[in-house]
Structure 1
């Protein structure tokens, strides 16, 4: 059997059995190498090569910044988002969307966004008479903005496999992310007006100014991160380091929500999270080496091109494959498994790798809210104490908006490529 196919089969079996993804891909790669007669030292060499990149330093630093921000600073972002939206009907849902977007500009993780923002807004929405399924759906779907708005851990993993510029990938996802945020906000405002949901208590201009003054240090965080990256002032890794340092200073000395002991615990939790991700990134290089050496990408490309000759249809088939896998598997696993397989096909049809990266990641972000795996939806249902079926039904309007964004990314290349081309000049 082809070594690349062995990796796919073993990986799928182990993943469905519940083994951690980094262990699944490591075992699958080892089994394929043994069966095909690859030198086993290659797995160590390729794994080290996969992790030996300065650009990957941004992963632990962005995760650390997000973990620190989740300790009280997120409340400041929610309070600031409530200032312009508090007097509209259903404002808590709109605040959830905007707060998720602001938090996403720091964390890069859908699950972290759902837990940090949804953990505060879902109970508040339930207390104010919102339908609990809608509250869960709003928080779960808004968490997609976490990784969609730069920075994104998934895009960094994609970049490590394709050697695309992380900075250009972050620029390319900005317009789809802003468009999705605006559409989510428009739907929450429409739903709030239709269902006559309650407004927040009226506040004076002085009170609003006091809230903004208190939140200013938290609001500077996403501005600093995105400004440094988009302005080309420093590399993505340097921006990540600045964000981690800034969040620690603000949390410990300005807002005083983070103690030295809490910081040590946060560093410990971040180390564990990062270790799993970095092992996954390293092993993905080893698995990609086996897949490519087995000629499986060429076989896949020849099969696909024999079936279809239209770029439109190819993009549609890629999206369908990713959407199905997104219902069943963890996002980074999909990237590691499918991207090396599809690169030849993508290149043969002239699809830009930056565009393909955004398309890939938006598909897996949508997977975060689609059962049965849908991790963000599962987090939301726990927060709202509701069923997955009921919550997903309320997710459908947000799901439809996400599909529109996906179609724009797929069939309007300038939707993703215009901003990188302008800022690169």
Structure 2
């Protein structure tokens, strides 16, 4: 059997038995190397090389910033959103979408977004007699804005594997992220009006001004991060460090709703999440080396080429593949596994590497909602205390809308390539 295929099959089997993805990847790589009589020293060498990237430093900082925010700044962002749009029917659903987009512009994580934003707005929606299944659905679906809207941890991982500029990937994901946010906001408005969901009293300009004044430091955080990256003031890695420092200063000395005692647990949680991702990235370098040596990418390329020579068909098949993988595997793990395999195919068919990365990331984010993995959907449903079947039925229209956007960014390259090209000129 091809040793590259051994890694893929071994990874899937071990993961199904509940072994953590990074361990499954490492064990599969060791087995394949033993079968090919490759020296085990390669595993450590390639693993170090995979993690020896300055762009990867952004991951622990963004995770830490998101964890700090979830304990402090999130409530301010929700309060500002509610002040402006709380008078609309179904406003809490709309607030959930807006707050998720704002939170996502800092954390880059879907799980962190559903935990921080959904953990606040889902109980509030239930208190106002929103259907529990809808509360779970809108909070879970809005949470995938976290890894779509820049900064995105999945895109940082993809950039580290391919060598593509992370800043360009962030720019390319802006339009898809905004499209999804607008579609979800529109659906929340439609649902609120159709089912006559409650609305709050319209706040006076003075009340809105007071709310904005109280939360302005929280609102400035995504502005500073994204403005700094896109304005060329600092790199994504530097922006992540700025986000942590800013979040700490605001939480400790401005809002004073976080103590030094809380910092220990925040650092531990962030360290565990960071270690898991970086181990996967490092081991992916080792496994991708073995896969490349095995000739598996060339076999896949020749197989696809013998089936069709149309980039349109290739992209459709890849999307179907990713949607299936997203149902079974965590997003970063899927990107780590599939990128080295499919990169030669993408280049051979002349598909833009930035577009491909964003299409793959968007696919994997949809996987955060779809069972059996669907971790954001499971978390949102648990927070709402709803039946999973009812929540999945409620999220179905939003999933369909996200699939339409996926097809748009797949077949209209300008949606992902125009902005990076325009700002690079």
TM-score of the alignment, normalized to the shorter chain, above 0.5: yes
Counterpart check, 1:233 vs 2:233 = yes
State the 1:5 CA deviation.
Answer: 0.3
Say whether the 8 Å CA contact 1:123–1:384 is kept in structure 2.
Answer: yes
Counterpart check, 1:251 vs 2:251 = yes
State the 1:398 CA deviation.
Answer: 1.0
Task: Tell me which residue corresponds to 2:30.
Answer: 30
Counterpart check, 1:335 vs 2:323 = no
Q: Deviations over 1:375-405 (max 9, x none)?
A: 0000011101112211011001110111111
State the 1:205 CA deviation.
Answer: 1.8
Correspondences of 1:63-74 after superposition (within 5 Å): 63-74=63-74
Q: Deviations over 1:146-174 (max 9, x none)?
A: 11011111111111111111010000000
The runs of 5 or more residues in structure 1 that have no matched partner are none
Counterpart check, 1:182 vs 2:182 = yes
Correspondences of 1:75-154 after superposition (within 5 Å): 75-154=75-154
Task: Tell me which residue corresponds to 2:358.
Answer: 358
Q: Deviations over 1:8-40 (max 9, x none)?
A: 111000111111111111111111111111111
Q: Deviations over 1:158-206 (max 9, x none)?
A: 1111111101000000011011101110110011111111101332221
Q: Distance in 1 between matches of 2:252 and 2:401?
A: 39
TM-score, scaled relative to structure 2: 0.99
Secondary structure at the counterpart of residue 130 of structure 1: coil
Task: Tell me which residue corresponds to 2:197.
Answer: 197
Counterpart check, 1:418 vs 2:418 = yes
Q: Distance in 2 between matches of 1:388 and 1:365?
A: 19
State the 1:55 CA deviation.
Answer: 1.1
State the 1:211 CA deviation.
Answer: 0.6
Aligned positions, number: 425
Correspondences of 1:215-364 after superposition (within 5 Å): 215-364=215-364
Secondary structure at the counterpart of residue 328 of structure 2: coil
Q: Distance in 1 between matches of 2:421 and 2:390?
A: 43
Secondary structure at the counterpart of residue 258 of structure 1: coil
Q: Which moved more, 1:338-347 or 1:262-271?
A: 262-271
State the 1:90 CA deviation.
Answer: 0.2
TM-score, scaled relative to structure 1: 0.99
Task: Tell me which residue corresponds to 1:376.
Answer: 376
Secondary structure at the counterpart of residue 70 of structure 1: helix
Correspondences of 1:46-57 after superposition (within 5 Å): 46-57=46-57
Q: Distance in 2 between matches of 1:201 and 1:263?
A: 37
Task: Tell me which residue corresponds to 1:60.
Answer: 60
Q: Distance in 2 between matches of 1:324 and 1:33?
A: 28
Say whether the 8 Å CA contact 1:371–1:388 is kept in structure 2.
Answer: no
The runs of 5 or more residues in structure 2 that have no matched partner are none
